[in-house]
Chain A
Amino acid sequence: QSALTQPPSVSGSPGQSITISCTGTRGDIGSYNFVSWHQQHPGKAPKLIIYEVNQRASGSSVRFSGSKSGNTASLTISGLQTDDEADYYCCSYAGGSTVVFGGGTKLTVL
């Protein structure tokens, strides 16, 4: 049950696009299309934004998109807005009815 690997931080300017990577193994991301992404603002509960690799959750902005290649999943946020500044966590099914999270990425909107 090793955590997925995310960059600790990314940054971008308003209007730009950024991508957050999430690297796992053949035992999790590489074997299942069950990757989700969650956004967490400081002091708040996480919120689902993407599920099943690239499906937007109800109420999520169209500016959020997900993809996967091999053992790595990615979250892209286009047209960055100040409210996008938050922590982002990937999560993948890892077999045996278990899931594993990434370490989280802090997005700073400059």
Chain B
Amino acid sequence: EVQLVESGGDLVQPGGSLRLSCAPAGFTFKNYGMYWVRQAPGKGLEWISYITADGKTFYADSVRGRFTVSRDDVKSSLYLHMNNLRREDTAVYYCARGRASFYFDSWGQGTLVTVSS
């Protein structure tokens, strides 16, 4: 069974930094592209980042230059490094497994990031 477990969410002040992690299980991590998607309280889903199996990275305009996605295939881990956080970055952050046709077939349970002073 495919499982994805996010961690690292926390309360952080505006301008601060945070690193989220996603731990996969039940599949060969190195063979898959991975996504980060977020959901602000009471709002819809927003794609924010994608990393291919071979490490190419892509970002939504809203986070480009502030967020960095990375992966460690040896440790089987996915990361999202978030810098210069803004109040509007407050959201539940989900990692999701990507498939070749640019869809997500498995989601984690999410981790909450709150940006507030």
Interface pairs (10), CB distance under 8 Å:
A38-B104, A40-B45, A45-B109, A46-B45, A48-B105, A51-B101, A52-B101, A99-B47, A101-B37, A101-B46
Binds A, one of B8-16, B17-25, B56-64, B69-77: B56-64
B44, A97: Cβ atoms closer than 8 Å? no
Question: Which chain A residues lie closer than 8 Å to B52 at the CB level?
Answer: 97
Return the chain A residue nearest B52 by Cβ: A97
Distance between Cα atoms of A45 and B3 in the complex (Å): 12
Question: Which chain A residues lie closer than 8 Å to B109 at the CB level?
Answer: 45
How many A-B residue pairs lie within 8 Å, measured between CB atoms?
A: 68
Give residues of chain B (50-96) contacting chain A, Cβ–Cβ below 8 Å. 50, 52, 56, 58, 60-61, 94
Distance between Cα atoms of A97 and B106 in the complex (Å): 18
Chain A contacts to B: CB under 8 angstroms:
1, 3, 32, 34, 36, 38, 40, 45-48, 51-52, 57, 87, 89, 91, 93, 96-104
For B, the interface residue count at a CB cutoff of 8 angstroms equals 24
Return the chain B residue nearest A101 by Cβ: B45
B58, A97: Cβ atoms closer than 8 Å? yes
Assuming the contacts A3-B44, A104-B45, asked whether A97 and B50 have C-beta atoms less than 8 A apart, the reply is yes
B101, A101: Cβ atoms closer than 8 Å? no
Assuming the contacts A1-B60, A46-B94, asked whether A100 and B47 have C-beta atoms less than 8 A apart, the reply is yes
